[in-house]
Structure 1
């Protein structure tokens, strides 16, 4: 589970000469494939604030999630959180589903407009991810392998110029780091955000697609 690194920078997409113009955010389902290992469909859709708010709030208020995200609160607080992200061109909020049943919340962000950017040689189209599995029944390494592969695959397919996907789990989050390494991410280094010691995890497009048979 990886929580947001910090509040995003003020929106710079399209307004600063060295930042690409970001496309309009999609709506609805953005990814679907059948996972033969699980015998289930894994899919990603954009978060709908009206339809997903209560679920999101329930997930954020579970002790396990609160320990990492520190975003427990009321429905109104969570509505404001999601509305802020909806208005932010650098972040896309997603719901992960197995057989169309929601189980996880993801944030995909353009790394160059995020506070992670100063900590490595960020590329124009690098994407970053924050990850939260909300439903207890869908935890475990076999499920992580399915959704993490799907999420990474989507981000590389969404923008052909994206060469790297990054994440910044807490440096002492050994379980998540191990899960990510098992799915082809490697730890570049540790670094300090104001609120945590983080591990910079990274996977390249070349490494992701090498030897994989994906539709």
Structure 2
């Protein structure tokens, strides 16, 4: 990708809004524009807006216009302004981070045709079939590591999952001690449950935790609040304690929440139901933008209903 900074264009861009960046772009390919935006936003988590300068020579303005039209169709930019020899393409953090590219590595849940069914008397959308392999992947420059989520494999992942479940600190909250065979059966059951998607979290390919995503409306949580059709919840455990250090903790939480929102743009809320005595976990969720809606009683625990809204996440969260 051929990019260079142009001071004159930067001066023009600086008049557009606070915290803008002008980048001189000579490779008129759609993926190159996405790469340029990734360079800006992924390396500057505090940035709220960016302006990309797209030059054109006489005779190839239509090529630039084609790129702009595609970028707008893919919701990569908010607006484009034409100047004498370049366009200024402006985007916001909110627009950029809601793009499914390049993070999703499998079909999005929103690709499933919308139709309705019932589970235990609850009417809800038909959920997508869980796909194999890597679902989400993102490099974090701040720690120079790549975080990924892949669908849990009951055979390949049962040993490490069982090891994690039998750790004292994990068993205290999950209460799922058992054998490898029992834990393989647990993963297989989650794989077959249409409202669940069990995944293994990895850094640079190394498994470190288990993430259990669920659609809230037909979940056990659904009756305890006014659940929306596409509200999504999460259970998790971190098996490898070294990935609870500050930088890695922020990275995997960022990746997990980001995945849950971009997998389906109709998801307006993410929810959780941690035990009320899991004070440290709840406090960190609050720091990320969650709030506690209420406390309530499951048969097996007293829980806090935690919620984060899409608008709050994409406006305020520091990726």
Report if the CA contact (8 A) 1:95-1:103 is conserved: yes
Distance 1:212 1:66, change over 3 A: closer
List runs of 5+ in structure 2 lacking aligned partners. Answer: 1-115
Specify which of 161, 166, 180 is matched with residue 61 of structure 1.
166
Counterpart in the other structure of 1:71: 176
Report if the CA contact (8 A) 2:202-2:208 is conserved: yes
Report if the CA contact (8 A) 2:136-2:259 is conserved: yes
- Matches of 2:133 and 2:185 in 1, distance apart? 21
Counterpart in the other structure of 1:201: 306
Q: Which has the larger radius of gyration?
A: 2
Displaced runs of 4 or more, over 6 A: none
Counterpart in the other structure of 1:14: 117
- Matches of 1:41 and 1:60 in 2, distance apart? 25
Where 2:123 maps in the other structure, the secondary structure is coil
Counterpart in the other structure of 2:220: 115
List runs of 5+ in structure 1 lacking aligned partners. Answer: 1-12
TM-score w.r.t. the length of structure 1 is 0.89
Report if the CA contact (8 A) 2:153-2:187 is conserved: no
> Does 1:140 pair with 2:239?
no
Aligned CA-pair RMSD: 1.5
- Matches of 1:100 and 1:41 in 2, distance apart? 8
Where 2:156 maps in the other structure, the secondary structure is helix
> Does 1:37 pair with 2:162?
no
- Matches of 2:285 and 2:275 in 1, distance apart? 13
TM-score w.r.t. the length of structure 2 is 0.61
Where 2:157 maps in the other structure, the secondary structure is helix
Distance 1:196 1:213, change over 3 A: closer
- Matches of 1:21 and 1:119 in 2, distance apart? 21
Give how far 1:14 is off: 2.6
Q: Deviations over 1:45-69 (max 9, x none)?
A: 1111111110000000111111110
Where 2:275 maps in the other structure, the secondary structure is coil
Greater RCO between the two (CA within 8 Å, min separation 6)? Answer: 1
Counterpart in the other structure of 1:9: none
- Matches of 2:202 and 2:211 in 1, distance apart? 11
Pairs aligned (count): 202
Distance 1:47 1:167, change over 3 A: same
Give how far 1:213 is off: 7.2
- Matches of 1:77 and 1:18 in 2, distance apart? 31
Report if the CA contact (8 A) 2:213-2:233 is conserved: yes
Where 2:311 maps in the other structure, the secondary structure is helix
- Matches of 1:144 and 1:189 in 2, distance apart? 25
> Does 1:183 pair with 2:250?
no
Where 1:51 maps in the other structure, the secondary structure is coil
- Matches of 1:201 and 1:141 in 2, distance apart? 21
Give how far 1:212 is off: 5.0
Counterpart in the other structure of 1:89: 194
- Matches of 2:202 and 2:276 in 1, distance apart? 28
Counterpart in the other structure of 2:98: none
Where 1:83 maps in the other structure, the secondary structure is helix
Report if the CA contact (8 A) 1:91-1:109 is conserved: yes
Q: Deviations over 1:130-179 (max 9, x none)?
A: 01000121123432211111111101111111111101111111100011
